[in-house]
Structure 1
Amino acid sequence: MSQATTNTRRANKRGLATRESMIKAAIASLATGDPAAVSGNRIARDIGATWGVVKYQFGDIDGLWAAVLRHTAEERGDLPANLAPGGTLAERVGALIDGMYVGLTTPEALAIETLRAALPRDHAELEREFPLTAAELASWKPDWEQACHRAFADLNIEPVRIRRMAALIPAAMRGISSERFLGTYGDLDDAKRGLIDAMVAYLTD
């Protein structure tokens, strides 16, 4: 192996390590929940770099946000893959709900919520102003739906019901997580159990 090739590989490794550390620093900054954390200059400051260095790695703020979302998706993995083969319907639904419940407490989830709150709500505007970020966000829905279909593939459940369940679980768990964050006199374990029972009843009706 030539010295030039060795130097190039070392440089590539350093570049990847720098990029990774910047993504993690951006996630930590966003996870504070501070709306100002979505500022490119603020992120650069928290990362400990100039905005020019960040642009060199990611192109622009859209590239940075897309990289952050891709990283969180890779870290999260395929939630239904953790389901035990041959588990009952209730066990599988419960594993999905518990996995989502725990996942929404991670720094990555908090970072995503901060970022989403700052992004345009209108899809056309989002896709126009932040096309890479929009593409990453758009990819999550079909990936999650496909994972849910795989998790229940051997149980002969109507696909439309699995699709609707896949749409409901993230929204419902965000509501329960919000209650946990804000404080509540309600029993959130009962809320989760009720959601599991309702989903099982719906899927077996």
Structure 2
Amino acid sequence: MDASRRPRPDGAATRARVLDAVVECILKNGYYQASSNAIARHAGVTWGTIQHQFGTREALLLAVVQDRWQRLTRHLGTAAVSGETLEERLAGVMGALETHYGSPEHLAIMQIMLDLAQSPATAESTKRAVETHAAELSQVWHPLLAKALGDAASDEDLVRYAFLTIRGYLSANAMAARLGPQPPDGAVRALLLQGIARAIREHATRTGRAPGPATGSSNSPAGG
């Protein structure tokens, strides 16, 4: 076949493969060993192809953060939270958050964000983009917690407490799993959820905000 008649590679598929290769390289080799050439080899493309798609390595790393942010936003926006008890609904919240914060990919994304935010070589526009993602985080998880807490979700401190506690547990487990096999933690998870629920009930009693399910959202995805 004449070279000029050959079908062009699917740009979207190549882009997705490169973004995945960045995360996989970091997890396999370590952040500072995930060089531009290593990423290109892992993706099965040339560095020239990556430059054509993204421009610079910094732009590539930012694209990874943005891609995972979009995935998280879509996932949490459609996550269903149901249950008769607060503990059951909080377990649903944890399950939804676990797909991101409990995965090894989260650790790679955190390394990228920390490096882009702190490196003196990072462009100011990139730093602002990373800061924007961090600042907008509550807009993603707050509606999810509202499905579990109901009226109590109007208390920002309460929602933030629940999210940070669950995220911390999931992130810690993800880090521990990278270091070696971990024992089953079903009992610990149940105790954690019970503790969060107890704290929410006590705080809600003092403030008069009942921790019930959000009206119309306990059994159906948001927006569906």
Shorter-normalised TM range:
0.7 to 0.9
Partner in structure 2 of residue 6 of structure 1 = none
Partner in structure 2 of residue 49 of structure 1 = 45
Query: Is 2:41 the partner of 1:18?
Result: no
**Cα–Cα, structure 1 residues 41 and 131, in superposed 2: closer, same or farther, change >3 Å?**
farther
- Aligned counterparts of 2:13 and 2:22: Cα–Cα separation in 1: 14
Partner in structure 1 of residue 89 of structure 2 = 92
In the TM superposition, what are the counterparts of 1:109-120 in structure 2 within 5 Å? Answer: 109-116=106-113, 119=115
Partner in structure 2 of residue 7 of structure 1 = none
What amino acid sits opposite 2:54 in the alignment? F
**Cα–Cα, structure 1 residues 45 and 146, in superposed 2: closer, same or farther, change >3 Å?**
same
**What is the DSSP-based 3-state SS (H/G/I as helix, E as strand, rest coil) of the residue aligned with 2:28?**
coil
- Give, in angstroms, the shift of residue 33 of structure 1: 4.9
Query: Is 2:132 the partner of 1:148?
Result: no
**Cα–Cα, structure 1 residues 20 and 171, in superposed 2: closer, same or farther, change >3 Å?**
same
Describe the superposition over 1:104-160 as per-residue Cα deviations: whole angstroms up to 9, x where unpaired. 45453353255356x166498867384376246425522334333442463444422
Percent identity of equivalent pairs? 19
**What is the aligned counterpart of 1:29 among 16, 25, 35?**
25
The normalised TM-score by structure 1 is: 0.72
- Aligned counterparts of 2:133 and 2:145: Cα–Cα separation in 1: 20
- Contact 2:116/2:122 (CA < 8 Å) preserved in 1? yes
- Give, in angstroms, the shift of residue 185 of structure 1: 7.8
- Aligned counterparts of 1:167 and 1:123: Cα–Cα separation in 2: 26
Describe the superposition over 1:27-65 as per-residue Cα deviations: whole angstroms up to 9, x where unpaired. 322232523443223212322333232121112122211
In the alignment, structure 1 segments of 5+ residues that lack a partner are: 1-9
The normalised TM-score by structure 2 is: 0.67
**Cα–Cα, structure 1 residues 162 and 124, in superposed 2: closer, same or farther, change >3 Å?**
farther
- Aligned counterparts of 2:151 and 2:87: Cα–Cα separation in 1: 12
- Aligned counterparts of 1:176 and 1:46: Cα–Cα separation in 2: 27
In the alignment, structure 2 segments of 5+ residues that lack a partner are: 1-6, 203-224
- Contact 2:102/2:173 (CA < 8 Å) preserved in 1? no
Partner in structure 2 of residue 73 of structure 1 = 69
| Residue range with higher mean Cα deviation, 176-185 or 19-28 | 176-185
Partner in structure 1 of residue 34 of structure 2 = 38
- Give, in angstroms, the shift of residue 19 of structure 1: 1.4
Partner in structure 2 of residue 59 of structure 1 = 55
Partner in structure 2 of residue 199 of structure 1 = 196
- Give, in angstroms, the shift of residue 15 of structure 1: 2.1
- Contact 1:69/1:133 (CA < 8 Å) preserved in 2? no
- Aligned counterparts of 1:122 and 1:193: Cα–Cα separation in 2: 37
Describe the superposition over 1:177-200 as per-residue Cα deviations: whole angstroms up to 9, x where unpaired. 334444588752222112101111
Aligned length: 195
- Aligned counterparts of 2:121 and 2:161: Cα–Cα separation in 1: 27
**Cα–Cα, structure 1 residues 169 and 127, in superposed 2: closer, same or farther, change >3 Å?**
farther
In the TM superposition, what are the counterparts of 1:118-197 in structure 2 within 5 Å? Answer: 119=115, 122=118, 128=124, 130-131=126-127, 134-135=130-131, 137-138=133-134, 141-152=137-148, 154-160=150-156, 161-183=158-180, 188-197=185-194
- Give, in angstroms, the shift of residue 94 of structure 1: 0.9
- Greater helix content: 1
**Cα–Cα, structure 1 residues 148 and 135, in superposed 2: closer, same or farther, change >3 Å?**
same
